[in-house]
Amino acid sequence: MARLGRTLILVGLLLTLAGTLSLLVLVRAGSPTSWTLIAPVLVTGLGLGLGTCFGTVYEVTLGGVGAKESGSASGSLSAVAQLANSIGAAGITTVYFRTPAAPRPQPSTASPWSPWPPLPAAPSSGCCPATPGPGITDPPRSAT
């Protein structure tokens, strides 16, 4: 692992970058099919890129630390990783919720990626027992 350490980190980050850019190109180009999304999703979604990177980052980072300081270095590395994850999640959600939404399709139309036909529209009345529709009456009540 010492031979491939830093190189493996670079390869993992480049794989993640390539997968993310290919997803961006496919989505911007039009409506991608599930077959065209397989390779980018394998690289980015299933973690082939970052999976090769993260395990090696810890080994490379802690590889030069002495035995006396290994416990505090490991704890510091874990704390910094957790802090970075929380800052990244906060940044992504801030961008997501501040981005204007695209117009949504009507409920009766199917998504271009959905293999199922659209659902029929719900009836406007009589769908729930609490609100009987036309022609539906309450059952007679007993006098007791």
Please write the tens of the pLDDT for every residue from 45-64: 677 888 888 878 888 888 88
Kindly list the distances between the CA atom of residue 126 and the CA atoms of 107, 122, 123, 136, in Å, as whole numbers in the listed order.
Answer: 20, 10, 7, 8
**What is d(CA 29, CA 43) in angstroms, rounded to the nearest whole number?**
19
Give the tens place of pLDDT for each residue, 108-132. 555 566 655 666 655 555 555 555 5
Backbone angles phi, psi at 128, to 5 degrees: -125, 145
Kindly report the pTM of this predicted structure. Answer: 0.54
Q: How does pLDDT run across 22-46, given as a tens digit for each residue?
A: 888 888 888 788 888 888 888 776 7
Question: What is the rounded average pLDDT of the residues 73-93?
Answer: 93
